Chain A
Amino acid sequence: MIVLILYIAIFIGAFFAVRFVTSRLINRHDYTSLKTVTFGDESAVMPNRWASFLSVLSIFLLWGAFTNSNWTPIHMPGPFVGDTQFTYVMEAPDGSRDDATVSVRVTPTGEPKSKIETESGDGFAKNDSVSVSAFRSVLILMDKNDEITRKDGGKVVEVNGISISPGDRIEIEDGLVVMTSKGSLNFIPEAGLQMEPVWLPPPESVVDRLGEIWGEGYQNFTLVEHLGWSLLRVVVGFLLGAIIGIPLGYAMGLSNWFRGWFDPIVEFMRPVPPLALIPLVIIWAGIGETGKIILLFLASLWIMTIAARAGVSGVKITKVHAAYSLGASKWQIMRYVIAPNSLPEIFTGARVAMGVCWGTVVAAELVAAEKGAGMMIMVASRFQLTDIVLMGIILIGGIGYAIDILMRKAEDYLVPWKGKG
């Protein structure tokens, strides 16, 4: 909740800050500033590069601030670490009371616990000393060393001067004391607003992990091998899908028989998510490479078929007529008119198919694999190695993004007329 509010605040704050700065730097008072209507004109809405930069930066800063990163200057209040103490009052069955002190040492996560040396004190209730890691709670059996224990009928009636009974929570400095139903005390040190590293490690530990795995590998394979295998599966599966799917789509766009024969199959298979095929593929082909390639082939096949079919059907009849009246034969029309005319659609399909394949390969590796990006994060999550999981997610996202950018560049280069006809 706090994160969401902070994020919205940063969003709005950055907007006004950038607008203030740019309006100071660029003093444009001519009519060009009024020339275009930007609202409602989608083509006039361009991504503001400052906004993109600040967006990434603010996510990084929030991440760092909530995980006590060394890389960010601002930090949220962290968990309490250090020594604290509170007193309790024990009441004996005869009504006499004695107080004692509990000293608590809260150690940072990952460091060994160490108790504070304390005097046992006077009276029948003796002083206690416990140690606990940050973010954890500790059960204090305060009567264990006392002369009158709970078995003898003694019970704790006050903590820091406030009366307490089972189930009550008393806030003390640096934490919370809760009395359990059996009458013992539980101390929960203040957790602050930061995330426990096992939930969300700070950025530097993710980067350290990246360096470590880059150098040493993970689960018998290097990082490059993990990612490379995932990519290789995607490329092979996609190419197979394209090699079968594009001619099939062409045939469906050109022949009634092909269209009639394959329409039910394609229309049925298209809405089936590739992930739903994983169990069947595992039964048929096992968890090895064959199964994964078959899965990715099936994921891309229908997309490429439909794209090629749409590309063929989308050819303007005047273009075909023009080619005929210029003396082209059927094969020449196929080769010089229909095929190039369908390229933009095929590229759109290829972009979608690559994205779907990348998502599917990761999911398939999550289920079962010896190597691959998905396998890496799945195994890491079993050992609660959140930093490896995060690193894997960032790499998977980055590679997916890079694939899309590459496909778009290829599209601009190979079919520059797309959307301009």
Chain B
Amino acid sequence: MSTLLIDDVSMRFELGNGEHVQALQNISLELKTGELMSVLGPSGCGKTTLLNIVAGFMAPTEGKLTLNDVQITGPSAQRGMVFQQGALFDWMDVRENVSFGPKMAGKKPAEYSEKVDHLLDVVGLQDFKKKAIYELSGGMQQRVSLARCLANDPDVILMDEPLGALDALTREKMQSLVLKLWKETGKTIILITHSVEEALLLGERLLVMAPRPGRIHKEYKLPFADLGVDADLREIKKHADFNDTREEILTMIWDMEEEIMGRTDGDSK
């Protein structure tokens, strides 16, 4: 049973002029294998900081993180990350991008080529494997990102607004794909998003974070992700529960945003 444990993590950024920003305060979380958690919150609530800490790109100022009882001290292939855009390697074609992880691990092409081809099939890019990255549309590029991450077979997948730059139609298709991949591979996924709808559709667990200092505001357990694996996502959106929860969360985030605005006004006076 692999578990991601975030234990009382805090993150402070020193600004240099003696001031500091408390990006995260006392975050504690436990993710079991195969859980899909979406994270929502207004800008500046520390979502991305949390993800970067889990990925190992930065060390928390307090607290510790463990994956399968091993402390996280830096980036590793165990924790794959999918970025919004611009993280693909332009100098490699689609297939080389997807093969990057296994190749870096020192595997021979014979060992991973079957898996890479399979993943290209799953994300529907088999016909595009020799294409250059700049020849692909935004949606296709994100498919490559997903496949590249999965090729490494990580324990945890960290997604930093992976669908944020896509148009609405492509986004919907990609949401189904994420759900499908989640069910097929049984990976633990943390997904950061700005879209309440997306968080509801994809998150088995949904974490709402509040800013200044960044903290966990509320957590939901949701049935929609499980339903969505086989059903049409648009049908799920018509669900009464879905709409109620969405309104509740939207109100929550709006209140936070207004509080921020109010407070900044107060500061400047």
B157 CB to closest chain A CB (Å) equals: 10
A325 touches B79 (CB 8 A): yes
Residues of A within 8 A of B86 (CB): 316, 318-319, 421
Say yes or no: A327 contacts B101, CB within 8 Å: yes
**Contact A341 B104, CB 8 Å, known A318-B83, A321-B57, A325-B80:** no
Instruction: Give min CB distance, A244 to chain B, whole Å.
Output: 24
Q: Give Cα distance in the complex from A340 to B79, angstroms.
A: 25
| B254 at the A interface (CB under 8 A) | no
Q: How far is the CB of B38 from chain A (nearest CB, A)?
A: 19
Tell me the B56-108 residues at the A interface (CB within 8 Å): 56-57, 74-77, 79-81, 83-84, 86-91, 100-101, 104-105
Residue of B whose beta carbon sits closest to that of A321: B57
How far does the Cβ of A167 sit from chain B's closest Cβ, in whole Å? 76
Contacts of A324 in B (CB 8 A): 55-57, 74-75
Q: Contact: A322 with B91, CB < 8 Å?
A: no
What chain A residues lie within 8 Å of B81 (beta carbons)? 321-322, 325
Confirm or deny: B13 has a beta carbon within 8 angstroms of a beta carbon on chain A: no
A417 touches B91 (CB 8 A): yes
Q: Considering residues A316, A325, A340, A421, which has the most beta carbons from chain B within 10 angstroms of its beta carbon?
A: A325
Q: How many interface residues does B have (CB within 8 Å)? A: 31
Segment 376-421 of A: residues with Cβ below 8 Å from B? 415-417, 420-421
Check: A336 CB closer than 8 A to any chain B CB.
yes
Closest B residue, CB atoms, query A319: B87
Number of residues from A at the complex interface, CB < 8 A: 23
Give the distance to chain A from B98, nearest Cβ to Cβ, in Å: 10
CB <8 Å contact, B158 and A343? no
How far is it, in angstroms, between the C-alpha of A30 and the C-alpha of B151 when the chains are bound? 50
Interface string of A54-66 (1 = CB under 8 A from B): 0000000000000
Return A361 CB to nearest CB of chain B, in Å: 33
Q: Which residues of B contact A421 (CB under 8 A)?
A: 86, 90, 133-134
In the complex, residue of chain B having the shortest beta-carbon distance to the beta carbon of A327: B77
A323 to B152 CA separation, bound complex (whole angstroms): 11
Chain A neighbourhood of B89, CB < 8 A: 319, 323, 336-337, 340-341
Instruction: Check if B148 is an interface residue, CB within 8 A of chain A.
Output: yes
B80 touches A326 (CB 8 A): yes
Contact of A325 with B90 in the complex, beta carbons under 8 Å: no
Q: What separation, in Å, do the CA atoms of A324 and B101 have in the docked complex?
A: 9
Is B132 in the interface zone, CB < 8 Å from A?
yes
B121 CB to nearest chain A CB (Å): 20
Could you give 29 example pairs across A and B, Cβ below 8 Å?
A: A316-B87, A318-B84, A319-B86, A319-B87, A319-B88, A321-B57, A321-B83, A322-B81, A322-B88, A323-B89, A323-B100, A324-B56, A324-B74, A325-B56, A325-B75, A326-B77, A326-B80, A326-B149, A327-B105, A328-B100, A336-B100, A337-B89, A341-B91, A343-B91, A417-B90, A417-B91, A417-B133, A421-B90, A421-B134
Which of B's residues lie within 8 Å of A, judged by CB? 52, 55-57, 74-77, 79-81, 83-84, 86-91, 100-101, 104-105, 132-134, 148-149, 152, 154, 158
